[in-house]
Amino acid sequence: MGEQDNSCLFDIILVNYNSTGYILKCLDTVYETLGDRPAVIYVQDNHSQDCPEKIHQHFPEVHLTLNDNNLGFAAAVNQAILKSTSPYIVLLNPDSLMVKGFFEAAIPYLSQNPDVGIIGPKILDSDGSIQGSARSFPTPLTAFFGRKSLFTRLFPNNRITSVNVLTSRCDGITPMEVDWVSGACMIVRRQAIESVGLFDERFFMYWEDADWCRRMWNSGWKVVYFPLSEVMHYVGVSSDQLMIRSLFEFHKSVYFLFDKYNRPSPWLLKPLIVSGLFLRMCFVAMSGCIHLWVGRASRSRCPDDKPPVPADFRRIRILRMIARLNIGGPAIHVHLLTTGLDPRRFETLLVTGNISSQEGDMSYLFDSDDNKPQVIPELQRDISPPLDIKALIHIFQTLNRFKPDIVDTHTAKAGFSARFAVLVYNFLFRQHVHIVHTFHGHVFEGYFSHAKSGFFVWIERMIAKLTNVIIAISDTQRQELVEKYRIAPKEKVRTIELGFDLSPFLSCHQLKGNFRKKLGIDDNTITVGIIGRLVPIKNHTMFLQVARLFSDAHPDINIRFIIVGDGECRQELEKTCGEMGLTRQVVFWGWVRNISEVYADLDVLALTSLNEGTPFSIIEAMASSVPVIATRAGGVQDLLGHPHDEIPENDFIICQHGILARKNDPDGFAKGLSYLVTEDIAIKEKRIRQARGFVCQRYSQERLIHDIENLYTDLMYPEKRGLPHDPA
């Protein structure tokens, strides 16, 4: 075993076999549960065929080993143990989720009880019921009264099974000495492993945990069931994929265990045991096939599984509208929802207008899709009564032709036009088309004069009365809409956070060096980027002021400030840049289609906006492991984590996932940037890891689609709420 590294208490080991989707969710909970505690994570992959490389893309710090063949569970764990160095080893199944607080009680207990070699936490099924993970050592009767045996199913409350399963004796609080605990999750003391040895690799899978615990007791180490730590376990995800092989290995391991601890055994007993195990295996195999045939398999459904569609469930027709597909978050959002909804349950039509000549176009997102958007040329960003009336007529014609069940609008202009058209359509044709409107941001602050802003607030309040559901994309935005601007009552406004395909950003490290090469800079040059439209609300002038302040304060640091994007303010900003003497430090790069290439070479992402919804650039940066500094605008603080205190005057504050500064405060922002550039690397990496885990968990495209599908179904079928979209 390796030389011990005292900086880590835990090495965490997972063995993967075609469970990559589960292991990604598992690792999210592991990092969240670890918090500030350092740990080394080993994933031993037994020749999976479900793209296990994704593990490195999502978690590059994980030690991933790709075996050329399936070594079995015991041998794969031994591989990792021999590489590990920490005082304690956590074995965790890939189909498990750590519950918050896992380590808090376990650490002092292990420290205060040096004679304990293994502790096994409470293991929960996905429905919250407690699994029988603490047991007595098996006897010949165990085969007849095990969890899947015929006798246990016929007599579920028999005394033999209750004697064998010990978790029912625990009060749920007090640690309890037991014969053995499940290897689905256990914490093992390294000293105990050095005393008793590694797993017995003759156990390909199953019962190696019982054997190890027995060897622990034989060597003087205690095994304890520890209910104060918890994990949730989806039973049998890897083994269910090869049911017959799993059953064979299970019963073969039972025989190994019998033969290992019952020597010398009478010659007549061995054939009886083999015959009994064979009959049991046949029964379990037959039962499993019957369950699969009738579609009533007892294993918990993975969150990614598509639920069955009831026979009486017709497709819901969604008309989605957005004013334009200019570069930015809303375009990405509507593309995902237009193409990502379950086609068995939803039919979607996207209607959009034209972008202006000064904006970047993202209609290329639909180039490879069959479901192309319908373009209404008159639907534009600017207010023009003649064009707006024509757009309204076209929208009405589309409603009459497509006959939607729900109209879902995005952005202010499309939101007003479409909702007004639906009002007329419902009145004239006595229809009941439901209306959903999403606020990606709002124009109530920073865009117009106080009088104009007040007028738009009044319009939104009126049109909100015609809307069934208003979606806010962050809790902060919801609070503003309900309390600050009083757009609608709180029961009408729901928070549904954004979702993304984060895979290009999680794997962008593969593109490292490409963008720097285009810029003509080396690896020692610090890069600070701002990504977005060059419009007043993004406040790029403040970004230039920060560049000047930082350069003056740190003349010895080689740094480039990169402005990625384009828009109406570009010419004015380039002029200001020259007047401030920043032409060497600042680069105007324009729009970049492969934006993950930019993130791969950014050292810091900056955002200086006056108003925001939920900035896509911050989420993309966090997924790309790029540190973030931003102004406190809109939903930014929901991404960076709420600061404990107010931001001091001309200063910044450190949040869980990034650095937060005041709006229109270049001095404080420059100080925050200086801190971020020069801070301790270990502290920075910890924040980056937390931010990456946060966005992977909160902003996945799967979660967004699931939430939106549920919303639509609840609107259409309130009497069946929870039925059409929930797992059976």
Burial 474-487 (b: 16+ CB within 10 A, else e): bebbbebbbeebeb
Rounded distance between C-alpha atoms, residue 234 and residue 586, angstroms? 52
Query: Model confidence at 189, in pLDDT bands (50, 70, 90)?
Result: very high
For 482-508, what is each residue's pLDDT tens digit? 988 888 898 899 988 888 788 888 888
Rounded distance between C-alpha atoms, residue 202 and residue 468, angstroms? 62
Query: Model confidence at 201, in pLDDT bands (50, 70, 90)?
Result: confident
3-state secondary structure of 163: helix
Is pLDDT above 50 for 148? no
Q: Please name the helix (run of DSSP H) or strand (run of DSSP E) that holds residue 230, with its range, or none.
A: strand 222-233
Query: Cβ atoms within 10 A of the Cβ of 92, count?
Result: 27
Higher pLDDT, residue 278 or 336: 336
Higher pLDDT, residue 400 or 450: 400
Pairing of strands 434-439, 469-472: parallel
Query: Model confidence at 280, in pLDDT bands (50, 70, 90)?
Result: low
For residue 248, the model assigns a pLDDT of 55
605 backbone dihedrals φ, ψ, rounded to 5°: -100, 130
Is pLDDT above 80 for 237? no
The least confident of 273-277, 344-348, 616-620, 699-703 is: 273-277
Q: Which of 118, 128, 221, 213 is nearest to 175 (CA)?
A: 118
DSSP readout, 428-495? HHT---EEEEEESS-SSSSSS-HHHHHHHHHHHHHHHTT-SEEEESSHHHHHIIIIIS--S-GGGEEE
For residue 95, the model assigns a pLDDT of 87
CA 615 to chain centre: 17
What's the whole-number average pLDDT of the chain? 81
Across residues 230-237, what is the average pLDDT? 71
58 backbone dihedrals φ, ψ, rounded to 5°: -85, -35
Yes or no: say if 543 and 561 are a contact pair by the CB < 8 Å rule: yes
Is pLDDT above 90 for 331? no
H helical segments located in 204-268:
208-218, 243-261
Q: Is the bond leading into 536 cis (omega within 30 degrees of zero)?
A: no
Query: Model confidence at 332, in pLDDT bands (50, 70, 90)?
Result: confident
Query: Model confidence at 634, in pLDDT bands (50, 70, 90)?
Result: confident
Token look-up 């092989």 returns 245
Q: Which of 348, 352, 377 is nearest to 362 (CA)?
A: 352
Higher pLDDT, residue 321 or 161: 321
For residue 275, the model assigns a pLDDT of 58
Cβ burial of 317 (10 Å; 0-12, 13-18, 19+) is middle
DSSP readout, 401-424? HH--SEEEEESHHHHHHHHHHHHH
Q: Please name the helix (run of DSSP H) or strand (run of DSSP E) that holds residue 639, with its range, or none.
A: helix 636-640
Query: Model confidence at 544, in pLDDT bands (50, 70, 90)?
Result: very high
Pairing of strands 185-189, 88-92: antiparallel
Yes or no: say if 690 and 656 are a contact pair by the CB < 8 Å rule: yes
Query: Cβ atoms within 10 A of the Cβ of 322, count?
Result: 28
Q: Which of 323, 320, 394, 314 is nearest to 346 (CA)?
A: 314
Higher pLDDT, residue 145 or 282: 282
Is pLDDT above 90 for 8? no
Identify the structural domains of the chain with CATH numbers, from first to last: 10-238 (3.90.550.10), 316-495 (3.40.50.2000), 505-699 (3.40.50.2000)
CA 203 to chain centre: 35
The amino acid that residue 673 corresponds to is L
Rounded distance between C-alpha atoms, residue 301 and residue 21, angstroms? 13
For residue 303, the model assigns a pLDDT of 41
For residue 269, the model assigns a pLDDT of 56
Count H helices and E strands in the chain, helices first: 26, 25
For residue 113, the model assigns a pLDDT of 92
Yes or no: say if 417 and 329 are a contact pair by the CB < 8 Å rule: no
Q: What percent of the chain has pLDDT over 70?
A: 79
Give the pair of three-digit tokens for residue 41.
């994570």
For 372-431, what is each residue's pLDDT tens digit? 889 998 887 677 788 888 988 999 999 999 999 999 999 888 888 899 899 999 988 888
For residue 260, the model assigns a pLDDT of 62
Higher pLDDT, residue 150 or 252: 252
Across residues 90-97, what is the average pLDDT? 91
Is pLDDT above 80 for 75? yes
Rounded distance between C-alpha atoms, residue 10 and residue 449, angstroms? 57
